[in-house]
Structure 1
Amino acid sequence: MKILVAEEAGFCFGVKRALKLINEYHRQGKKIQTYGPLIHNIPVLNDLAAKGIEHISAVDKISKNKTLCIRTHGIPRDIEHRLRRKGIATLDATCPLVKKGQKIIEALDKANSRILIVGDKHHPEIIAARSYAKKVRIINSLAAARALSRCREISVVAQTTLNTEFFKEVVAILLDKTEKLHVFNTICQATRDRQEAVKKLAPTVDAIIVVGSKISSNTKKLYNIARGKNKNSLQIETCADLQNKATLAKLKKFNSIGISAGASTSPQELNNVKNFLQKL
């Protein structure tokens, strides 16, 4: 069986940076916890938990003797202010590209622009991002874009893990909704590279496996792209998800299998899947 790995897969810059920060802190013997899951990857979170690095979900649950690490997705501004007022020591692991989007939204708000964010309103990145403007609208479908009323000016920002093609379709609709459209393509380069890589790989193999957490936005987007190019697409969290009789029987029928992985999937997990498939 031929196994091919997408040209771009696994940990992105933001995730590598966050893990480097928090692991270095831990190596120095400092106590730390994270506000929300550091990244959307259960095996990595389990590894952190094994080191005593747990995540909490509310300010009143913060341990006073621990430094609080801000997750890669960022946190809402009101929570930042509460932490500052309480004098809680923090380590900011927010992805710099997420921070860039927050600063853009903040600047647009000061300029009294009509701000539109394209993304999942329930995703922590968007929950944080929307807090940087007094008034912002969030959409996540073409139907929602079509339903917008016309206005003189619109500024549009994207969730960093958004499907690039979907964002282009939304922008095309917005062109008919306003005289002046300001487009801020804040989809991160790592997301774009991984999407292009899976788009390129999926049609060339008999089946494709996307490795990443079920709660990972960018992994879901990769899987949807893969599925659009190859009907034999499968999303798994770990190599263990492949080790059942039905899945094994199906995989053994293929002559070639491609592998892609979300931006929060570790190189180790990617290699585990590759090595397992090579032994079939």
Structure 2
Amino acid sequence: MDLLFIADPLASFKVNKDSTLAMMRVAQEAGHQLWFCESRNLLWRGNSVVADCQSLQIKPSSTSWFELAAIEGRALNTFAAVLMRTDPPFDIEYLNTTWLLSAAVRQGARVMNHPQAVRDHSEKLSITEFPELIPPTLVTRELSAISAFHEEYRDIVIKPLDGMGGMGIFRVGPDGLNLASIVETLGENGARTLMIQRFLPEISQGDKRVLLIGGEVVPFSLARIPQGSEIRGNLAAGGKGVAMALTERERTVAERLAPILNERGLFLVGLDLIGGQVTEINVTSPTCFVEITEQTGFDVPQFWLKALEKALN
């Protein structure tokens, strides 16, 4: 099969742990032909959605690890699958890309994750569909509402809706120190909506990434454990990644959500859970394939490939 990966520049990949590269390697080893482009290389041209893309060969070297052929213009509906793996933020250009991909879907392209589903599932706000699975949560621009929430729960976390990698996350304890200043700064004086949640002390055991692939649950999570005085477990914020078998609660939550999200076109999802409660539903470019595979022996890339081949047959 010809597989088109839409991703960030290959030279920016962290070769030792990049999930997209792990997908590429296992697909190539299985005999599939890889193609690559960036989102900027998608065009509406000649009444179809086209990628100015390049055939890609993955090489064993850890330095010069890829080889690209000459650029070719190919309609997206000529590929067996189009895999959108561009990292957030979900800004206007990311949104523009999903609209182009939706046009390609109308022309018969198989895009994973489905662009309409990606647009419909804000990685933070989508948790509100499942209120029984999440911690106490408030979404607002209003300082007065946040102050009342803090008064009720005493220990809270405040974060922007468009943050990634732990960026812009603040904890405000019982003393309420700097609450107004934090809200005014993060919320740009009421111009931006914020999410506020009760602080979950179970973060000390890790912010756990659980992967859902093709409606099935990977049986291990990657617990991103905060280090030192840090409250953020995100690997980008210095958290330590430790793979763990799913708890009974985590498996129950994941098995409930996996078929629902897959039915909507979300083939690959990364649930974030703290203390068994869902804090985010990641649908843009979920990661942690390599860390889980290396630490547990459970081959996540192979699991992904088998699910992909099954979905395309």
Higher relative contact order (CA 8 A, sep 6+): 1
Q: More helix per residue: 1 or 2?
A: 1
Q: More strand per residue: 1 or 2?
A: 2
TM-score using structure 2 length:
0.29
